[in-house]
Copies of this chain bind each other. A is one copy, B any other.
Amino acid sequence: MYKTLLKYISTVLFFVSFGLAQENGENRIYLISLFGILIVMLSLVGIYFFMRFIAWMIKYSKYKRLKQIKEKKNKLRIIELKNNRPDIETVLAISSAIHMELKYKMEEEKAILTINKLIRPYSPWSSKILSMRRVPDRR
């Protein structure tokens, strides 16, 4: 209950501050700041909706294509598939398994890095500068 109230109050406050800034029209600095932050918001909100739209489009186009293919082949199988569609728990289990797998791989990579670190000794005898300028063969 009180939340709805707070919600409205904050919204109102926001527009009041907006109006105040507008009043003070002669002071460009304030207006630039206000509209600046609004434009920043706008651009990121724009990204938000843009990307949601794209996500939706990708999903839709895939679904449509899938449907077309299936329809051509076997109507019965689609129904079967729908019934057998994996539930959300299964999906989560699989994805967490993949995640664990990746994590393991990451650790493996780290291990390799550690080994590399160990076998790179920084003494004057092995320093890269030695390999840069060579002593002639004939000596």
Contacts and interface: CB of A to CB of B under 8 A. Distances in A.
Interface stretch (A18-26, A47-55, A86-94, A100-108): A100-108
Contacts of A123: 102
A130 to B, nearest CB: 12
A interface bracket (residues with beta carbon within 8 Å of B): 10 to 19
Copies in the complex: 3
A119 B106 CA distance: 6
A133 B106 CA distance: 19
A71 interface: no
Contact of A126 (B106, B121, B125, B126): B106
A120 interface: yes
Contact of A102 (B102, B109, B121): B121
A116 to B, nearest CB: 9
A118 interface: yes
A105 B126 CA distance: 11
Contacts of A102: 121, 123
Chain A to chain B: the 3 pairs with minimum beta-carbon distance, closest first: A105-B119, A102-B121, A109-B119
